[in-house]
Structure 1
Amino acid sequence: MEAPWGIINVEPGWYVSAQRPVEAEAEELSPLLSNELHRQGSPGVSFGFSVFNLMNAIMGSGILGLAFVMAHTGILGFSFLLLIVALLAAFSVHLLLSMCIQTAVTSYEDLGLFAFGLPGKVVVAATIIIQNIGAMSSYLLIIKKELPTAISEFLSGDYTGSWYLDGQTLLIIICVVIVFPLALLPKIGFLGYTSSLSFFFMVFFALVVIIKKWSIPCPLTLNCKEQYFQVSNATDDCKPKLFHFSKESVYAIPTMAFSFLCHTSILPIYCELQSPSKKRMQNVTNTAIALSFLIYFISALFGYLTFYDEVASDLLQGYSKYLPHDVVVMTVKLCILFAVLLTVPLIHFPARKALMMMFFSSFPFSWIHHFLITLALNIIIVLLAIYVPDIRNVFGVVGSSTSTCLIFIFPGLFYLKLSREDFLSWKKLGAFVLLIFGILVGNFSLALIIFNWINK
């Protein structure tokens, strides 16, 4: 039966965009996506490569902050929270896929449009912009802090005060010479292949964390001009804690949410999947999240068991401090910095696309708009990287606000809005729990983080 506003009823409880043939098995296979792939003559991306692509979207700078989280939640506390966030992330993807199939929508912003009209699309776009700005600034923070130490480890002698050992100077040079020109390109597909190396760099990083656990003895000692200074007590600081809570524990769930965010990439990857179906894409998601969970947990566990309560909010800082001039550590640091450097221009693209949609959607493509928006984004992330003192602040604020919205709040809210299932159905109850969890955890974490700042 024809429904108002040009949409047709597909099955009880759902509406889908009109003028699209929908088969009876729409729940398992999206004819829209299959027809689109067939029209383009593309066989689609295999299951394995789709898992690989999604893991690239999941894993990023968050891996450097999870050992710090474990130090302030304990091994069992961390394991429980990380598992909860991973399971909820997988369930929210399940809701997104259900809505994608039934609405024939292929972007997160359009889901917001379908659920709440233009305001919904604008809110989702703005959230994605803030999330991407936070992600880019976290990457630049890593460059600002780690590149000077990486350079100094290759030098012999005292070069203190040199411009090439000043993090802010190096950051500005890199952004002007490398990041900004690459982000200006209208198409940057070649960097997609290069940035895929970041996954292997993350695996390499996790392996190095495991190996170096036995290279840094506890109690921790600092080598300063051939004199060793003990900085921790063996009886008090070399015992792992199963549960531990402090004022820094408030960064736990926001950092985890930041680390598992991949939801803006789910629908594009689904569109490219070979023989796309909800079940197949859900298996891709579950596999990618499970493997990411494993790598996250291993790197956090062995990072914590290396430094215990002395672990830094950026795990690389600990290795620079206690293993200077170590060849393996220097290599993994360069790998991470290389991955970070090439990822920043890529994250410019969805952020700029969302800004163009919000402010210049009715205008044809203009190089002036393109240049000005790219420049504005670059200035904002550089200023954030310069003036934000600690990477955990980025994880905390962005994770408790935009990350919780994109992972928990929006999928739950959109599903409750679009689905006409009975409220007592397990999916709607799950969507309601997801929504309430996101609102409570996000607001509570953000309030405590701001309270900690005020007290400091």
Structure 2
Amino acid sequence: MSLNGTGNAELDSQSATIETEGDETTPLSNASRAKGASFASSVFNLMNAIMGSGILGLAYAMASTGIVGFCILLTLVSGLAAYSIHLLLKLCDLTGINSYENLGERALEKPGKVLVGIAILIQNVGAMSSYMFILKSELPAAISSFLSPDQSGDAWYEDGRLLLILVTLCVVLPLAILPKIGFLGYTSSLAFFFMFYFAIVVVVKKWSIPCPLPHNITFFIGSYQVSNASDTECTPKLFIVSSRSAYAIPTMAFSFLCHTAVLPIYCELDRPTKARMQNVTNVGISLSFLLYLVSALFGYLTFYAHVDSELLLSYDVYIPRDIMVMTVRLAILISVLLTIPLIHFPARKAVTLLLRGNSPFSWPTHIIVTVVILGLVVMLAIFVPDIRNVFGVVGSTTSSCLLFVFPGLFYLRIARQPLKSFDSIGAVCLVVFGLIMGVTSFSIIIFTWTHSS
């Protein structure tokens, strides 16, 4: 389950060469490459790169923007994501470059490569932190759900921070420290089915929890205790504007970021042309859009304004031992646990390239970088109180850069088309939208933090 475009495509070969002609039917060179992946397989790989923990926060985003507002924003972000990939593919065919970092170097020389590397590192650290946060919050609930109620109390397994540290040391670190972890790519093939099952459970459970919510139950959103819903709160809102709305677009950007995986998938596509890869992108983003919309809509219509920023936690209060919720929680936990090493791989690669360039492999550097990155991620997961903070901060900074700003800026710098051309105007709009969205959302989030503290 890869959230930020660093799934199994990042671990595969990226050595395929590209023809340097710029038309849309120019294929990647088939020299020294085996038969590529089918269209369906490429769509599946791209969806694995898109779908991830962001799906758990989109119901909260709908509760913060309203149904119509959410649909407009989700359509806008997904459309711009597909268009920014279109610009990256044009640059890929134009230059023969098949990695995001090298496109940055071509556009802005060495600073561009460093900027992209740092953005990918921060994005992957944010993604790993969101996954670790899920482990911290969901593992105690998962263990408790399989035990009898009289065994609950102050047991050690109810401490999410302790469980997170144990799982990191016993499972994540041994897998992440391997120099080659390509075999874990096979586990990501389950991601789409886990997400599809998650959406089904959210739809089905809409009719298991009545509204208004039971009056004898209190529950929490973030760190605030919230009173139960009243009859008037069971009416869905079409438009909502509040300080919480600042988290909506960053969460969506976080959820649609797959751009670092697009070019490797393009290289491995059978009969690769820009038009064929664009069709892969359109299908993958459209299917992800549908799953995101269905899960967010029915999650919101279940809890309305009281939906938790991590949707699965909302079910614990009302149906804590429900079989479907238990199984979907277990499936997502397994997927998250095995995906963290996959996301760690490109993060470690970015740090190693920034520190040592193309120097030969060194075990001491490899181990130190691995431990430092995982230590930082665990600390973030332990001390960040709410997963929406991860989505908000990372989404408004590195996600907006990788999704909007960099593709538009690189196209303007490399393609050098007339500013009146359609793609040049589109590239300018991407850069402007990304900067406005990122700065505005980040500023409101910081303002909200300072006032709430």
Q: TM-score category by the smaller chain? A: over 0.9
C-alpha displacement of 1:27 = 3.2
Q: State how far apart, in whole Å, the 2-side matches of 1:269 and 1:97 are.
A: 11
Q: How many residue pairs end up in the alignment? A: 427
2:321 is equivalent to residue 328 of structure 1: no
Question: Per the alignment, do residues 124 and 25 of structure 1 end up closer, same or farther by CA in structure 2, a change over 3 Å counting?
Answer: closer
2:299 is equivalent to residue 303 of structure 1: yes
C-alpha displacement of 1:362 = 4.2
Q: Is the 8 Å Cα contact of residues 223 and 322 (structure 1) preserved in structure 2? A: no
Structure having the higher Rg:
1
2:92 is equivalent to residue 100 of structure 1: yes
Q: State how far apart, in whole Å, the 2-side matches of 1:130 and 1:343 are.
A: 17
Q: State how far apart, in whole Å, the 2-side matches of 1:97 and 1:278 are.
A: 6
Q: State how far apart, in whole Å, the 1-side matches of 2:315 and 2:129 are.
A: 22
Q: State how far apart, in whole Å, the 1-side matches of 2:165 and 2:380 are.
A: 12
Q: Is the 8 Å Cα contact of residues 215 and 228 (structure 2) preserved in structure 1? A: no
1:334 partner SS: helix
Instruction: Write out per-residue CA displacement over residues 360-386 of structure 1, whole angstroms, 9 at most, x where no aligned residue.
Output: 114210111111111111100000000
C-alpha displacement of 1:315 = 0.2
Supply the AA of the counterpart residue of 1:368: P
- Percent of paired sites with the same residue: 58
C-alpha displacement of 1:158 = 3.7
Instruction: Write out per-residue CA displacement over residues 126-174 of structure 1, whole angstroms, 9 at most, x where no aligned residue.
Output: 0000000000000000000011011111111143221111100000000
Instruction: Write out per-residue CA displacement over residues 225-267 of structure 1, whole angstroms, 9 at most, x where no aligned residue.
Output: xxxxx95344221000111111100001000000000000000
C-alpha displacement of 1:188 = 1.0
C-alpha displacement of 1:300 = 0.1
Q: State how far apart, in whole Å, the 2-side matches of 1:360 and 1:235 are.
A: 61
Supply the AA of the counterpart residue of 2:451: N
Residue number in structure 2 paired with 1:27? 24
Where does structure 1 lack aligned partners over 5 or more consecutive residues?
Answer: 1-19, 225-229
Q: Is the 8 Å Cα contact of residues 255 and 396 (structure 1) preserved in structure 2? A: yes
* Aligned pair partner of 2:445 in 445, 449, 453: 449
Alignment of 1:363-382 (within 5 A): 363-382=359-378
Q: State how far apart, in whole Å, the 1-side matches of 2:18 and 2:161 are.
A: 56
Q: Is the 8 Å Cα contact of residues 27 and 102 (structure 1) preserved in structure 2? A: no
2:194 is equivalent to residue 201 of structure 1: yes
1:34 partner SS: coil
Question: Per the alignment, do residues 251 and 24 of structure 1 end up closer, same or farther by CA in structure 2, a change over 3 Å counting?
Answer: closer
Q: State how far apart, in whole Å, the 2-side matches of 1:233 and 1:54 are.
A: 39
Alignment of 1:405-424 (within 5 A): 405-424=401-420
C-alpha displacement of 1:94 = 0.2
Supply the AA of the counterpart residue of 2:24: E
Q: Is the 8 Å Cα contact of residues 58 and 292 (structure 1) preserved in structure 2? A: yes
Question: Per the alignment, do residues 57 and 406 of structure 1 end up closer, same or farther by CA in structure 2, a change over 3 Å counting?
Answer: same
Residue number in structure 2 paired with 1:434? 430
Supply the AA of the counterpart residue of 2:41: F
C-alpha displacement of 1:189 = 1.5
Question: Per the alignment, do residues 223 and 196 of structure 1 end up closer, same or farther by CA in structure 2, a change over 3 Å counting?
Answer: farther
2:173 is equivalent to residue 177 of structure 1: no
Q: State how far apart, in whole Å, the 2-side matches of 1:22 and 1:58 are.
A: 27
Alignment of 1:104-143 (within 5 A): 104-143=96-135
Question: Per the alignment, do residues 362 and 291 of structure 1 end up closer, same or farther by CA in structure 2, a change over 3 Å counting?
Answer: closer
Question: What's the TM-score once normalised by structure 1's chain length?
Answer: 0.91
Q: State how far apart, in whole Å, the 1-side matches of 2:216 and 2:228 are.
A: 14
Q: State how far apart, in whole Å, the 1-side matches of 2:247 and 2:97 are.
A: 34
Q: State how far apart, in whole Å, the 1-side matches of 2:369 and 2:376 are.
A: 11
Q: State how far apart, in whole Å, the 1-side matches of 2:184 and 2:300 are.
A: 33
Q: State how far apart, in whole Å, the 2-side matches of 1:245 and 1:203 are.
A: 30
2:301 partner SS: helix
Residue number in structure 1 paired with 2:382? 386
Residue number in structure 1 paired with 2:214? 221
Question: What's the TM-score once normalised by structure 2's chain length?
Answer: 0.92
C-alpha displacement of 1:322 = 1.2
2:56 is equivalent to residue 56 of structure 1: no
Residue number in structure 2 paired with 1:165? 158
Q: Is the 8 Å Cα contact of residues 58 and 260 (structure 1) preserved in structure 2? A: yes
Instruction: Write out per-residue CA displacement over residues 389-437 of structure 1, whole angstroms, 9 at most, x where no aligned residue.
Output: 0000000000000000000000000011111211100000000000000
1:422 partner SS: coil
Alignment of 1:204-283 (within 5 A): 204-221=197-214, 232-283=228-279
Q: Is the 8 Å Cα contact of residues 219 and 231 (structure 1) preserved in structure 2? A: no
2:62 is equivalent to residue 66 of structure 1: no
Question: Per the alignment, do residues 308 and 49 of structure 1 end up closer, same or farther by CA in structure 2, a change over 3 Å counting?
Answer: same
Question: Per the alignment, do residues 69 and 24 of structure 1 end up closer, same or farther by CA in structure 2, a change over 3 Å counting?
Answer: closer
Q: State how far apart, in whole Å, the 1-side matches of 2:22 and 2:58 are.
A: 41
